[in-house]
């Protein structure tokens, strides 16, 4: 809906949908001297047609009583298709109930016949300004998002700019890459960006979810098998490695891969070949391996749960993605992006968060990172009853975390180690109180694994 910006042009284009010629004439007499371009339709059908053919309007003046439809029906129709357009309802049958219903349906304002000329001028001027402001805000958000959008990754913060530079630097190479970061930080998106910016972009990109596939099935899926390799192998099967020939394969949560598969992956990296199940001859393969994990791999090596030689082969080039709590500047940008996405997906017109809801989201530590924020915004958009996400639509976890204690003053002479331990204890005790002592739920609130929380409880002597 592009607007005319020439200083000598009309201040706005107005569409009047009213079946009374005298009303249209009066409005024309009021608005023409102000420089408005005014056109009219005498019924709902022609009004809808004019809006469909030409969406470049600054405001609509819509009669409630039309010969072929109720004006509120036209209002709802217009709000779905042109959500930024200000619609002013006009009627000679105005009641409080009609006004409330029109405002709930998304009307900008309500004007009763007979109306005062000054009232019409003021209301139309405000409606036009509102339409243009909505469009400017939408265009600004879109431009801002595009400016800070890298592939499908959203972020303007310094940590994310470093990630973007890393992707650009390593994408052209053939080296394996290890992407580390907490769950929900966007490891798969980074892997996709590396692939799309590499010479392999026109070849397959295959994701292997290491945690959801049993070891035997994972081995078969990766390397394939020949006919007769085992009972039920009535034909040969091409594995994912072979299917990714020339492209990139991402091992999501590589730390969950069983030792027997780790050994075979090491051979793929070193020798560029693999042996399908039941085969006697190795097959060559040209794939780039990217591994992702939210685990501390070095700790797994120390416990004998991950091969050290594989780790060093994977860790040729590595990057650690920042958690969302370390990039708070990106939260408003992500909220705007997810709101626009889920509005389009659900045919909704949610415009904003209520101030108290926005305050909660900006202050939240987001233990589930970007994925949790996305789920929160999606929930709000789906459940919103109007143009605003209110605080009652936020997930219980977000509301519970907002109730956890915070430091309000710094005691004199405090030692950092003691203060951190005291604060950690307060947080854990508050979470346990919230969950009635159920450690699993308390761990979810705090973004910890239950075993980690249990260790902290023992170490701090919490009863």
Q: What is the CATH number of the domain that holds 425?
A: 1.10.10
State residue 408's pLDDT score. Answer: 47
Specify whether 178 is located in the same domain as 206.
Answer: yes
- In terms of average pLDDT, the best of 146-155, 274-283, 374-383, 417-426 is 374-383
State residue 105's pLDDT score. Answer: 81
Q: How far apart are CA 245 and CA 206, in angstroms?
A: 10
Provide φ and ψ at 298, rounded to 5°.
Answer: -65, -35
Specify whether 28 is located in the same domain as 39.
Answer: yes
Q: Decide if pLDDT at 407 tops 60.
A: no
Does residue 6 belong to any structural domain of this protein? Answer: no
Specify whether 164 is located in the same domain as 241.
Answer: yes
Pair of tokens at residue 370: 């970007």
Q: Decide if pLDDT at 321 tops 90.
A: yes
Boundary residue ending a domain (322, 348, 379):
322
Whether the CB-CB separation of 346 and 316 falls below 8 Å is answered with: no
Q: Decide if pLDDT at 237 tops 90.
A: no
CATH code of 226's domain: 3.40.50.300
Q: How far apart are CA 110 and CA 102, in angstroms?
A: 7
The pLDDT tens digits for 109-120 are 888 888 889 999
State residue 93's pLDDT score. Answer: 65
Average pLDDT of 166-171? 94
Lowest mean pLDDT segment, chosen from 76-80, 296-300, 442-446: 442-446
Does residue 411 belong to any structural domain of this protein? Answer: no
Whether the CB-CB separation of 314 and 152 falls below 8 Å is answered with: no
Specify whether 424 is located in the same domain as 443.
Answer: yes
Average pLDDT of 404-415? 54
Comparison of pLDDT for 6 and 55, the residue scoring more: 55
pLDDT bin (cut points 50, 70, 90) of residue 136 is: confident
State residue 245's pLDDT score. Answer: 93
Boundary residue ending a domain (145, 180, 209):
145
Q: Decide if pLDDT at 5 tops 80.
A: no
Specify whether 241 is located in the same domain as 304.
Answer: yes
- In terms of average pLDDT, the best of 62-66, 137-141, 416-420, 426-430 is 62-66
- In terms of average pLDDT, the best of 142-156, 354-368, 399-413, 415-429 is 354-368
Does residue 221 belong to any structural domain of this protein? Answer: yes
Boundary residue ending a domain (145, 172, 206):
145
- Mapping DSSP onto H, E and C, the string for the chain reads CCCCCCCCCCCCEEEEECCCHHHHHHHHHHHHHHCCEEEEECCHHHHHHHHHHCCCCCEEEEECECCCCEHHHHHHHHHHHCCCCEEEEEECCCCHHHHHHHHHCCCCEEEECCCCHHHHHHHHHHHHHHHHHHHHHHHHHHHHHHHCEECCEECCCHHHHHHHHHHHHHCCCCCCEEEECCCCCCHHHHHHHHHHCCCCCCCCEEEEECCCCCHHHHHHHHHCECCCCCCCCCCCECCHHHHCCCCEEEEECHHHCCHHHHHHHHHHHHHCEECCECCCCCEECCCEEEEEECCCHHHHHHCCCCCHHHHHHHCCEEEECCCHHHCHHHHHHHHHHHHHHHHHHHCCCCCEECHHHHHHHHHCCCCCHHHHHHHHHHHHHHHCCCCEECHHHCCHHHHHHHCCCCCCCCCCCCCHHHHHHHHHHHHHHHHHHHCCCCHHHHHHHHCCCHHHHHHHHHHHCCC
State residue 178's pLDDT score. Answer: 96
Does residue 151 belong to any structural domain of this protein? Answer: no
Pair of tokens at residue 12: 């706005």
Whether the CB-CB separation of 106 and 87 falls below 8 Å is answered with: yes
**Residue 423: which of 410, 439, 440 has the closest Cα?**
410
The pLDDT tens digits for 45-102 are 999 999 998 888 999 999 888 999 888 899 989 988 888 899 999 877 656 677 677 8
Q: Could you give the number of structural domains in the chain?
A: 4
Specify whether 263 is located in the same domain as 352.
Answer: no
Specify whether 295 is located in the same domain as 378.
Answer: no
**Taking all residues of the chain, what is their mean pLDDT, rounded to a whole number?**
86
Lowest mean pLDDT segment, chosen from 58-62, 132-136, 183-187, 243-247: 132-136
- Distance from the Cα of residue 152 to its chain's centroid: 10
Global pTM value: 0.61
* Cβ-based neighbour number of residue 118 at 10 Å: 9
Angle between helices 355-363 and 369-383 (to 10 degrees): 170
Pair of tokens at residue 355: 């101030």
Average pLDDT of 379-408? 83
Specify whether 350 is located in the same domain as 317.
Answer: no
Q: Decide if pLDDT at 409 tops 60.
A: no
CATH code of 368's domain: 1.10.8.60
Whether the CB-CB separation of 64 and 90 falls below 8 Å is answered with: yes
Specify whether 254 is located in the same domain as 134.
Answer: no
Whether the CB-CB separation of 233 and 273 falls below 8 Å is answered with: no
The whole domain housing 453 covers 416-460
State residue 298's pLDDT score. Answer: 87
Q: How far apart are CA 290 and CA 194, in angstroms?
A: 9
Lowest mean pLDDT segment, chosen from 354-368, 396-410, 447-461: 396-410
State residue 143's pLDDT score. Answer: 62
State residue 146's pLDDT score. Answer: 57
pLDDT bin (cut points 50, 70, 90) of residue 2 is: very low
Does residue 48 belong to any structural domain of this protein? Answer: yes
Specify whether 205 is located in the same domain as 248.
Answer: yes
Average pLDDT of 5-19? 72
The pLDDT tens digits for 198-233 are 999 999 999 998 887 787 788 888 988 888 778 877
Specify whether 137 is located in the same domain as 165.
Answer: no
Lowest mean pLDDT segment, chosen from 95-99, 145-149, 311-315: 145-149
Comparison of pLDDT for 327 and 280, the residue scoring more: 327
Lowest mean pLDDT segment, chosen from 128-132, 288-292, 342-346, 415-419: 415-419
CATH code of 25's domain: 3.40.50.2300
Specify whether 187 is located in the same domain as 292.
Answer: yes
Residues ≥6 apart with Cβ < 8 Å to 392: none
Pair of tokens at residue 276: 């399908």
Does residue 98 belong to any structural domain of this protein? Answer: yes
Q: How far apart are CA 43 and CA 342, in angstroms?
A: 34
Percent of the chain with pLDDT over 70: 90
State residue 318's pLDDT score. Answer: 94
Whether the CB-CB separation of 394 and 357 falls below 8 Å is answered with: yes
Q: How far apart are CA 358 and CA 364, in angstroms?
A: 10
Q: How far apart are CA 107 and CA 123, in angstroms?
A: 12
Total residue length of the chain? 463
Q: How far apart are CA 229 and CA 236, in angstroms?
A: 9
- Mapping DSSP onto H, E and C, the string for 399-430 reads HHHHCCCCCCCCCCCCCHHHHHHHHHHHHHHH
Does residue 3 belong to any structural domain of this protein? Answer: no
Q: Decide if pLDDT at 43 tops 50.
A: yes
Does residue 140 belong to any structural domain of this protein? Answer: yes
């Amino acid at each position: 809906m592009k607007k005319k910006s020439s200083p000598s042009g009309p201040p706005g284009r107005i569409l009047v949908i009213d079946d009374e010629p005298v009303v249209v004439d009066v409005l024309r007499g009021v608005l023409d001297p102000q420089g408005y371009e005014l056109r009219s339709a005498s019924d709902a059908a022609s009004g809808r047609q004019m809006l469909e053919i030409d969406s470049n309007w600054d405001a609509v003046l819509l009669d409630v009583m039309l010969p072929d439809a109720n004006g509120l029906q036209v209002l709802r129709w217009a709000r779905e298709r042109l959500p930024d357009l200000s619609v002013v309802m006009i009627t000679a049958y105005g009641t409080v109930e009609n006004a409330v219903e029109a405002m709930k349906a998304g009307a900008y304002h309500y004007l009763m016949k007979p109306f005062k000329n000054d009232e019409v001028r003021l209301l139309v001027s405000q409606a036009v300004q509102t339409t243009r402001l909505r469009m400017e805000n939408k265009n600004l958000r879109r431009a801002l998002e595009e400016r800070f959008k890298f592939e499908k990754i959203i972020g303007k913060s310094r940590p994310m700019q470093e990630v973007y530079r890393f992707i650009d630097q390593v994408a052209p190479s053939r080296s394996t890459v290890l992407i580390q970061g907490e769950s929900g930080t966007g490891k798969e998106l980074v892997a996709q960006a590396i692939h799309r910016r590499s010479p392999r972009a026109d070849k397959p990109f295959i994701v292997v979810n290491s945690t959801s596939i049993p070891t035997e099935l994972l081995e078969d899926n990766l390397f394939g098998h020949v006919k007769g390799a085992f009972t039920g192998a009535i034909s040969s099967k091409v594995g994912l490695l072979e299917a990714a020939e020339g492209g990139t394969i991402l091992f999501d949560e590589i730390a969950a891969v069983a030792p027997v598969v780790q050994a075979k992956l090491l051979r793929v990296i070193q020798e560029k070949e693999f042996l399908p199940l039941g085969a006697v001859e190795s097959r060559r393969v040209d794939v780039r391996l990217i591994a992702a994990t939210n685990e501390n791999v070095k700790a797994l090596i120390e416990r004998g749960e991950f091969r050290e030689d594989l780790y060093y082969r994977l860790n040729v080039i590595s990057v650690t993605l920042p958690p969302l709590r370390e990039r708070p500047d990106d939260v408003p940008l992500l909220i705007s992006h997810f709101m626009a996405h889920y509005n389009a997906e659900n045919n909704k017109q949610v415009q904003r968060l209520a101030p108290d809801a926005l305050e909660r989201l900006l202050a939240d530590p987001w233990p589930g990172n970007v994925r949790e924020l996305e789920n929160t915004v999606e929930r709000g958009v789906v459940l919103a009853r109007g143009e605003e996400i209110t605080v009652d639509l936020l997930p219980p976890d977000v509301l519970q975390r907002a109730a956890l204690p915070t430091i309000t003053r710094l005691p004199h002479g405090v030692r950092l180690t003691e203060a951190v331990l005291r604060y950690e204890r307060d947080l854990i005790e508050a979470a346990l109180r919230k969950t009635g002592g159920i450690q699993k739920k308390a761990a979810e609130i705090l973004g910890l694994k239950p075993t980690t929380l249990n260790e902290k409880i023992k170490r701090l002597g919490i009863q």
